Amino acid sequence: MNTRLLMIASALVLATIGLSLTFAPEEVFAALGGGTSGPWTIVLQLGGALYCGFALMNWMAKGAVLGGIYGRPLVIGNLVHFTIGGLALLKAGSGTLLWTVTAAYVLFAALFGYVMFTHPVKSDPGK
């Protein structure tokens, strides 16, 4: 499996969510049905910072061999994030946008699960 594409795709999805939460927390809060503003917008901004950090971690690790001894922490972190996030989204799912995000989370959870439980293969640039 080409883990480089997996890491790039997950970094882009996480960066999109993170930047939205960081720079437009009130709009996201209102879109989720929470009103116009409130103390929860700070929590959304902190969540956005976490997403941006996770996205940068995945982007910087896109060239690493994943699933082995050294890449296992990255894979397990992503697997836990996308599995728990996917389950939470499945529980709360309503609306087209939320179902789209849920589908992305479930897909990434499955892909990181596959990487976690298979032997890593370093691609041969000569082939």
For 51, counting Cβ atoms within 10 Å of its Cβ (0-12 exposed, 13-18 middle, 19+ buried), the class is buried
Selection from 68, 67, 85, 71 nearest residue 14 by Cα: 85
Largest CA distance in the chain: 57
For 41, counting Cβ atoms within 10 Å of its Cβ (0-12 exposed, 13-18 middle, 19+ buried), the class is buried
Distances (CA, A) of 18 to 45, 73, 118: 8, 21, 29
pTM: 0.86
Lowest mean pLDDT among 5-9, 27-31, 41-45: 27-31
Confidence band for 46, pLDDT divided at 50, 70 and 90 = very high
